[in-house]
């Protein structure tokens, strides 16, 4: 008979083997049920559009439905908080833009989640510039004319954004700082609602993600006077960059990425990253993203983490320098 002092180590070893076996089996069978993809913005915005494209491709590749669930509000932080508190089993994922991860935490220091510790980066999907668009009734055709209009009417012009602390908000405040103008910020629960009011003339201008504002510009409902990338867009070659328009060193935009709750098994993270990168190689998906002014990225979870941390530190310095605070 085995002495008592040797029974516990043996039992623990057997338990460990059983646990590892169960974990391996779980990874091999993942996913075995539908996956919920949380988008922290309203339906119709750029994050929603891009996230739904990825959900469709991942559904086909994973063999299980990837169901989109929009949870807008508070600049995207409500959806982030929901995923941060979800089980780390790979069945609740986050498709986020840059704002709630790299910008908002510097504006709202007391969030229900930690942007770095609460999530496991999976894949950087795409980057996208912003268009500076104005309502047709606003009689400005260039950035210099906008600056003159704003300086002539301090505190009268209003600019919308898809949430306080979002990339659009930050771009607006950065513009105010560099151009020396005073404008009123009006935050919305997503790009879609903000654009509705902009087209209706309820607000005057907006730095909006290319994919949602470009169709309105082409349709004549809005006028684009600048783009925030360092290069002009092939779709709007007549629209200058902010730097070309006279705002030195101005570069902004957003990015989209897939993340999971922290502590999700690495095997699941790697599976999701592999399938996401494969989806990004699809010609149809690339063409759709290009039509939205986006640049396909991809890469490993570790590469995404490095990129995210660099963005977090970059925009944190700008928030502090611009004096952006919670409204």
- Asked if the model's pLDDT at residue 73 lies above 50, the reply is yes
Rounded to whole angstroms, what are the CA distances from 45 to 1, 11, 96?
A: 69, 54, 12
Residue 4 confidence (pLDDT): 47
Q: What is the pLDDT of residues 187-200, one digit of tens each?
A: 998 888 999 999 99
Query: What average pLDDT does the segment 144-161 reach?
Result: 97
Q: What is the pLDDT of residues 268-285, one digit of tens each?
A: 999 999 999 999 999 988
Query: What average pLDDT does the segment 302-318 reach?
Result: 93
Q: Is 33 exposed, middle or buried (0-12, 13-18, 19+ CB in 10 A)?
A: exposed
The residue with greater pLDDT, 79 or 189, is 79
Residue 1 pLDDT level (bands cut at 50, 70, 90):
very low
Tokens in use for 170? 């930050």
Residue 92 pLDDT level (bands cut at 50, 70, 90):
very high
> Is the previous residue joined to 31 through a cis bond, with omega within 30 degrees of 0?
yes
DSSP string, 68-79: EEE---GGGHHH
SS3 per-residue string spanning 171-198: HHHHHHHHHCCCCEEEECCCHHHHHHHH
User: How far is 181 from 279, CA to CA, in rounded Å?
Assistant: 43
């Amino acid at each position: 008979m085995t002495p008592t002092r040797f029974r516990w180590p043996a039992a623990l070893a057997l338990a460990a083997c059983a646990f590892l076996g169960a974990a391996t089996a779980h990874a091999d069978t993942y996913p075995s049920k539908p996956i919920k993809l949380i988008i922290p913005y309203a339906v119709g915005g750029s994050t929603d559009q891009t996230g739904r494209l990825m959900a469709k491709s991942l559904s086909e590749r994973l063999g299980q439905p990837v169901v989109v669930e929009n949870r807008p509000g508070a600049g995207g932080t409500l959806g982030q908080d929901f995923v941060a508190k979800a089980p780390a089993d790979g069945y609740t994922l986050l498709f986020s833009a840059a704002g709630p991860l790299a910008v908002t935490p510097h504006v709202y220091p007391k969030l229900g989640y930690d942007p770095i510790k609460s999530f496991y980066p999976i894949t950087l999907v795409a980057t996208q510039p912003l268009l500076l668009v104005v309502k047709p009734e606003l009689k400005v055709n260039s950035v210099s004319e906008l600056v003159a209009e704003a300086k002539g009417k301090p505190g009268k012009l209003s600019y919308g954004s898809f949430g306080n602390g979002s990339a659009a908000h930050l771009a607006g405040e950065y513009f105010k700082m560099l151009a020396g103008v005073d404008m009123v910020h009006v935050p919305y629960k997503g790009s879609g609602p903000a654009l509705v009011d902009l087209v209706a003339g309820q607000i005057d201008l907006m730095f909006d993600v290319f994919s949602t504002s470009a169709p309105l510009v082409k349709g004549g409902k809005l006028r684009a006077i600048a783009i925030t990338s360092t290069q002009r867009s092939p779709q709007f070659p007549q629209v200058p960059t902010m730097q070309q328009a006279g705002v030195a060193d101005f570069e902004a935009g957003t990015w989209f990425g897939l993340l999971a709750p922290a502590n999700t098994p690495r095997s699941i993270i790697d599976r999701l990253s592999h399938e996401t990168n494969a989806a990004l190689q699809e010609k149809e998906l690339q063409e759709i993203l290009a039509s939205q002014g986006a640049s396909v990225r991809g890469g490993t979870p570790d590469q995404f983490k490095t990129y995210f941390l660099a963005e977090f530190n970059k925009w944190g310095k700008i928030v502090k320098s611009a004096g952006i605070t919670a409204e």
